[in-house]
Structure 1
Amino acid sequence: MKDFCLHGILLFLGILFFSNATPTGRNSKTRHGRHEKGKEGQVLHRSKRGWVWNQFFVIEEYTGPDPVLVGRLHSDVDSGDGKIKYILSGEGAGTIFVIDDKSGNIHATKTLDREERAQYTLMAQAVERETNKPLEPPSEFIVKVQDINDNPPEFLQESYHATVPEMSNVGTSVIQVTASDADDPTYGNSAKLVYSILEGQPYFSVEAQTGIIRTALPSMDREAKEEYHVVIQAKDMGGHMGGLSGTTKVIITLTDVNDNPPKFPQSAYPMAVSEAAVPGDEVGRLKAKDPDIGENGLIKYHILDGDGAEMFEITTDYQTQEGVVKLKKVVDYETKKFYSMKVEATNVHIDSRFISKGLFKDTATVKVSVEDADEPPIFMEPGYVLEVFENESADAVVGRVHARDPDAANSPIRYAIDRHTDFDRFFSIDVHDGVIKTTKPLDREEGPWHNISVTATELHNQAHEAKVPVAIKVLDRNDNAPEFAKHYEALLCQGTHPQSPKCTKMSGVDKDDTANGPRLLYSFPPELIHPNQNFTIIDHRDDTASIYVGRGIFSRQKQDFYPLPIVISDGGNPAMSSTNTLSIRVCSCSDGAVLSCNAEPQTLNAGLSTGALIAILACIVILLVIVVLFVTLRREKKEPLIVFEEEDIRENIITYDDEGGGEEDTEAFDIATLQNPDGINGFMPRKDIKPEYQFTPRELGIRPAPNSVDVDEFINTRIHEADNDPTAPPYDSIQIYGYEGRGSVAGSLSSLESASTDSDLDYDYLQNWGPRFKKLADLYGSKDTCDDDS
């Protein structure tokens, strides 16, 4: 009912406003004309406006039964007789807005929403009803939708989350919430919002105009309450009655500040530790509580004072925020049984606002009791260094080790040597008092140090034992004579004269310590000093000496080797000495260069000279050469003179016209009939060249072969043919044997014949053929291509 009344009032005011308004259309005519002067004194008349109308308004969300009258269009030319027709066009014409074409009244047929569209632009025109002739130019006008408060305020978010530090001062800004209203902010109070808090008092408040939420109570403690739910309302119409409203929820969380110190739940913490514990072992734990969280709740611990400050230490386990007490030094139940110390817990990160209040630390007392434990024996020294002279007899005392039981029971101790450190069993130990002795004489030169390990075990608890290293130094005695550092040998040229340079330099070594032989002395044995005048010894007083040649001339025939004895003595007490031999050899020399130091055979020196030996060797070489030549010639003498290379055998065989069965073949190997019927005149066709390149004997100027069986002449003819035939290769001479006759006295010359081992022919007759046969032999080579197995 209220909305209906409001709409009616607004409609009445709108109509009243339209009736009193002055027309503002662009084409509307004035009811009174005005004269204006134009150019050159011409009087102009402004025409009267033809439209009578103004800007129109319509209220949104109208829900009455009848269409809403928006306004009326009227032209001055309209006399009311119905001859004028009004036409409406533009946005919403015909659908939202309709016009009475006679009266010009415009109605809205639908409910309008200003939030969807605030105004419409339309076009009006007056025409003759019958002819549709325009009476007025088209005119544009606007219909605005009048706003009503039909939209409640809406917040940008359904809910907000905010944080504020605990213990904040009153009025601390937390968050600003904002709402919006879709109504027209320029018309009335439909969009004027006011904020208020519905839930969250008395902890928070909100500014009515801005929506800023602020703290309202001092010293809000997170540890007491961490989260608050606040409901904020936004109301339009300036918050007055009848306005629309909207709400949102704000979740406010108090963030932690370091406003709580760590606090020990108890003032004293008892702990216990065994005297068998080693440094680093954990003794116990304690924890101070701090309700703060995050880095504000981090705690560190340290020892302030007390007699246990040097024996114990405390660290922080940041996973559990506990203080861990650990053993720093070994404790002894027999010495001290109780320790006390003061421990402090402080925050790692301290808030300066609470330093003055002392809210960042707390203290407690830690009492540690030492518990007795069955401990292993303890040696009086961490290690022992003992000494004994070498060559001492067995059972010589080396020294003593001592261990004790640290427990109050003071159990007896038994000693033993670890045999893994004394394989040769040089030492023994008394199981009761720890006295170490030798079991055999020691030699410093073999081992100057012996490192052993001694074990101490409790008599009543053999599981408890302790070990200690013992280093035994073997002291030196002068029991080794010095000697040559190596074998020395000197070489002398025979015929050496006095004033010759020194022969060699020697050095000696002494296995004993330098305290028993600070310097070595060199000398000849007493029995050789006077008789021997050839050599002189010079001691350089630096553990070295040199031998020089004395008077006399050395001859290899008389003596080529001199073993020279030399005595080397040390400076020990008593002194030790040894006799060493220097080997001196007499050598053959040339211009000072040694040629030979070996003994020469006496028979050669006495009988033959070097020239004679060279002559004998030359004769032997000549005889060997003669023998080799003889054997070589003998072998060549027995070799066949006509030989074919291995690669020629195939060609020689395939060019024979007919091969028989050997010497018995009268058609192939009878040398008496070497002239065949085809070659009676000395010519036989060649089979290895083309016919146009063959020459007859007459063309070459060679006489035909005789009919007699003259082998020498036959061969000479064939050689001459081969020499003058440029088309024949040098190896094919035997291919001219196209036919062999019967009854050959010499037998077949075929290489196949050479395979027969039963032939009794003597091939030495070829040697008598003379120099011409040699030329033939050169053509075919000198190697027999058929062996005895073919």
Structure 2
Amino acid sequence: MTKRIGYRNWRWLALWWRHFILLWSTIDGQTRYTIPEELKQGSVVGNLAKDLGLGLSEIFDRKLRVASEAGKQYFNVDAGKGELVVNERIDRDTLCRQSASCVLPLQVVIENPLQLHRIEVEIRDINDNSPNFLTKDRVLKMAELTAVGARFPLESAEDPDVGSNSLKSYILSKDECFSVKVKDIEGGRKIPELVLEKPLDREKKAVHELLLTALDGGTPARSGTSQITVTVLDNNDNNPVFQKAVYKVRVNENSEKGTSLIKLEATDSDEGVNGEIEYSFGEHTLESVLSVFDIDAVTGEMFLRGELDYEVAASYRIDITAVDKGSPEMEGHCRVQVEVIDVNDNAPEIVLTSKPSPVREDAPSGTVVALISGRDLDSGNNGKVTLQLTNGHPFSLKPSFSNNYALVTSGVLDRESSSEYNIEITATDAAFPPLTTKKTIPVSVIDVNDNPPKFSQSSYNVYLKENGLPGSMLSSVSASDLDFGDNAKISYSILDFKVQDVSVSSYVYINSDNGSIYSMHSYDYEKLKGFQILVQAKDHGSPSLSSNATVHVFILDQNDNAPAVIYPSAALGSLPHQKMPRSTKAGYLVTKVTAVDADSGHNAWISYRLAEATDTSLFSVNLYTGEVRTKRAVSEQDDSSQRLLIEIQDDGEPVQSSTVTLAILVEDGLHEPILDLRQKVPEPSKKSGRITLYLILSLASVSVLSMVTFIILAVKCVRNSRSSGSCCMRRDDFDGDMMSQSQSFRSCLSPMSEFSDFTFVNLAAVALRNIFC
């Protein structure tokens, strides 16, 4: 029971410290988590959504994702809970080696809008590695005359763990002649040394079996062992001695193969072969060192054998052994520390933290398009990177932190001018001379409906023949739109407009897709000379834009009307009669035929010709005026009744024509005709008895007046007949508004005249009406 309570207290205390570290890291302005290495896949690191102030729904909507700068994707986000979880086994010893601090930087990318957060996950070491000797068995040869207190470097154990879990101490198995001492050297390393505590006596003990144990500081502690066999030899009692225990060398990483690094020298007080020395690398020198360095066994000169790379290894610690040729052999030891100087041999890199997003052409200045970072594998100034944009683009780079930048808009975008920008970014390091890298990032521009459709013409003129077939195409209008997609798709329509108080839609129809305009029915020039159509082109954008164009439709006249005879009028009878005296001379104007044509232009030009006649030698018709005249004087032999058929033609194509038949009576002793004043006498309205009386008196007065007038006219006609044989009077054409030319012609009145005596009654009735009105 006590153990269980202690375990719970230990878990509570560990949890409290973890939350304390997380809280301390967050307050620092940058989210930081601390976890132990070797956690299982799916282990929770922390609630990332909560720490960044995001709701769970935003994880999906804004596409939250984690990008690792370490190359491998050690972490992932649980989209359902918003937690940062372990995605892959983390071995701190492999990842950070002997570094005291092991921090994995992560970039959290959030879209809509684009945001970049930097978080750090510190990997805490656990004691999962035991100290290890590369050589489990080592043989040392010592002369029995070796002085007490002499020290012999031993192989140091390796422990990948760090801090309290790293190598702490060495223990040597019990032996009265030997002990072990630990020597601390630069870099925190501990080198065990075998110390001779008592003089050796080969005769008493020629071989000493020792067990060297290395212990780390973990709880519980881990250990590793190495078997050391000391063989006691006789003679050669002086060891080779180096001038320094540690030699330091600095060399550029771009040094060529064969470059001399240092010449080592050890001295031996012995003479002869006991003083001859050979140099070599330590017994347990790593292959990675042997592939890069070499040493001349005779001269002790150390030189490059392979290529250096500061980014792979910035320093080397190399153990050198000097062995004489005595019997037994005596050894001397030293260490060479090689520091590699960084050279600017790595060009900077441009990394897209997030892919560039398409940007609307109406996006405001400062809109984030992409997140970009620069990095350089070199160190110091050689690894400092600056990103720049080439000029000429409406974009700029906004610095963030640690060589991170945001690509943002800095000017007005116009998709119609440029639908895609290829933005060239240049990365330059701070070395001298600097190295540069260029990368092109394509950014597409999303169209916005900012251009209305534009007609090819502001107005169109259409000339259409009348009497065309309904449904025939009149014309076609065309508009274009500089936008893209639906924003450039155009529909055509006709705006409502009145033509002769009728909607224009009843006259024409337009195809909404291609702008073709069709007639709804046949047009008659005599009723409609032309009309206008207001066509609208509207795109499918949101909101939509439109523009208008005017179509002027002109109806062209066709010769579809025959000439119509106005005079002589058919109202006077089915066969118009004209009278002429037999005494008529050549050129006498018998009558004038007048016709009109409802068409226009050439189609309305009228000509007259005599088609048939009782006597074609007696009459002629003027081609343009329609005047009927005598070609010669009338003789006694000419028939008293003449019949003329006059054809009237227009100038159209095809020709339209009509005819009129005239009956001409040739009479002897024809008097002057009296002006046709035939009118219908309006019936007097029924009035009171007094009005009736007035009417009777008026009629009586008019009758008397008419009789006096008739007597005067009869006397005048008798007088004139003696000289001319007829009674004639001048009459003006009262149809002048309907004829192309006004004229006067003479007509003769004979006893057979069509004017009856009721003419005078009519005159009286007119006079009476004037009196009462």
Q: Same fold (TM over 0.5)?
A: no
User: What's the TM-score once normalised by structure 2's chain length?
Assistant: 0.37
- Which of the two has higher C-alpha Rg? 1
User: What's the TM-score once normalised by structure 1's chain length?
Assistant: 0.36
More strand by share: 2
